[in-house]
Amino acid sequence: MNAIHTIHTDGSPTLRPTAFRRSRRSPAMAFARAFVALAVVALASACYGDNGARSGDSADAADPPPNTLTEAERDAGWRLLFDGETTDGWRGYNREAFPDTGWAVVDGMLVVGATAGDPDVAIGGDIVTTESFSDFDLKFDFMLSEVANSGVLYRVIEADGFAIWNNAPEYQVLDDPAYLEMGTMDMNTHLTGDNYDLHAAGEKTLHGPGEWNSARIRIANNHVEHWLNGVKTVEYVLGSPEWEALVAASKFEPFPQYGRAASGPIGLQDHGRNVFYRNIKVLPLGPVSLFNGENLDGWQVHGTERWYVEGGELVCESGPDAQYGYLKTDRTFRDFDLSVDFKQESDGNSGIFFRSSVEGTTVSGWQAEVAPPGLFSGGIYESYGRGWLVQPDPELDAALRMGDWNTLRVRAVGDRVTTWLNGTRMVDITDEQIGAADG
């Protein structure tokens, strides 16, 4: 008997429907009944177009009153972090109270550097939300003054003796032309939309002092995106080898906790120059079940095998022709992080397809293998194509617990796919064809 128990999926949909395969590659798969105890969890996310808009953001709701939520945003779970009237929900970094100076609420704007130019008044210092966030989608508007300098930080770690930027990634907010004209320092990775000191923004449009800009930060399972005025400026993965190398060569190298927090407040930086913020709103990305434990709502059956729910488990019985059978989701995904608990009790063969198309009982695309010992669980196989793209090293097969529950994790971001089995990394592959696939 094979069973699949729990799946966690994170990402922005536009991966092909996830499909589970019953295979006839092994005669042992002709057992009369296969139990699949399936629970799917997806971190709430949305499809993004080229302009950075979420599905559900309607054009006629593009310019609602400042510091309000549209009906669609409320329904989706967005929350205001700034109400336009008070500083409720904010406090000073490493403080219990909100700063007495340096910040002010003026005409529906949260203004930093409110004492700029007055040598007798100290700056207020950085501020953070009273609530912590792990994965989220954050939108905010900002307006620069001349020579403005600020930033929005996330997963902030508060520690005595450390500045806010020592430990937290930052979306840089800056009057780019002014600092570039000064020419006093290398501004690469220090401009608006950058991941400060690590990743430089690509092509962008920055509105100058006195004009509003719309920004966005999205982080889901360590996959981070920065957006500016509808254009994605930065994309990276916290903890990835590339990120680790950049940190080691940056000003953050002396700070071992930089970027390591799984959760933390969102912060706004005070550099003493006026920056105006409004429309600060957040969508926490929490779990959404794709399997309700009662029926096959949200799923489609392909093939002659019988799929049904019994006792909260998804059960599959072999069909009369002993052919391939598939169960796929109605929803589609692209970048994702998926975990599935499965139990391998027979000599059968299965797998989890992604970015794949299903026509009848023919699946074209890629799958993460689920198989008995010695048959490359966690490897990536391309059906009706190149076959095996990568197999785990033989010594990693010890991670599989035959007859017991296992957790297989599959992460696909762009053209990179990584799998883990019970916490052991099995494969890590970059493939142009996978990266080019959509669905």
Mark whether 115 and 259 lie in a shared domain: yes
Cα 11 versus chain centre, distance: 5
For residues 178 and 318, membership in a common domain is answered with: no
Question: In this structure, is residue 6 part of a structural domain?
Answer: yes
Query: What is the band of 360 on the pLDDT scale with cuts at 50, 70, 90?
Result: confident
Determine, yes or no, domain membership for 49: no
DSSP designation for 436: H
| Residue where a domain terminates, one of 251, 268, 285 | 285
Q: How far is Cα 334 from Cα 376, in angstroms, rounded to an integer?
A: 24
Helix (H, G, I), strand (E, B) or coil at 97: coil
Determine the Cα–Cα distance for residues 42 and 47; give it in Å rounded to an integer.
13
The share of the chain scoring above pLDDT 90, in percent, equals 51
Residues 280 and 296 in one domain: no
Task: Give residue 255's pLDDT.
Answer: 96
The per-residue pLDDT for range 206-235, each reduced to its tens digit, is 999 999 999 999 998 788 999 999 999 999
Q: DSSP character for 15?
A: S
Q: Output the pLDDT for position 323.
A: 64
- My answer on whether 300 and 363 are in the same domain is yes
- Does the structure show a pLDDT above 60 at 30? no
| pTM metric for this prediction | 0.62
Mean pLDDT of 291-295: 83
Give the range of the structural domain holding residue 156, as residue numbers without chain letter: 59-285
Taking only the tens place, the pLDDT of each residue in 123-174 is: 789 999 999 999 999 999 999 999 999 999 999 999 999 999 999 999 999 9
- Tell me which of 361 and 385 has the higher pLDDT: 385
Lowest-pLDDT range, 98-107, 325-334, 411-420? Answer: 325-334
Q: Looking at the structure, tell me whether residues 37 and 13 fall in a common domain.
A: yes
CA dihedral defined by 190, 194, 199, 200, rounded to 10 degrees? -70
Q: What is the CATH number of the domain that holds 396?
A: 2.60.120.560
Q: Is the pLDDT reported for residue 118 higher than 80?
A: no
Is 54 part of a structural domain of the chain? no
CA nearest to 351, candidates 312, 374, 382, 386: 382
Domain boundary among 285, 305, 339: 285
H/E element, 413: strand 405-413
Per-residue pLDDT averaged across 321-349, rounded?
76
Distance spanning both ends of the chain, measured CA to CA: 31
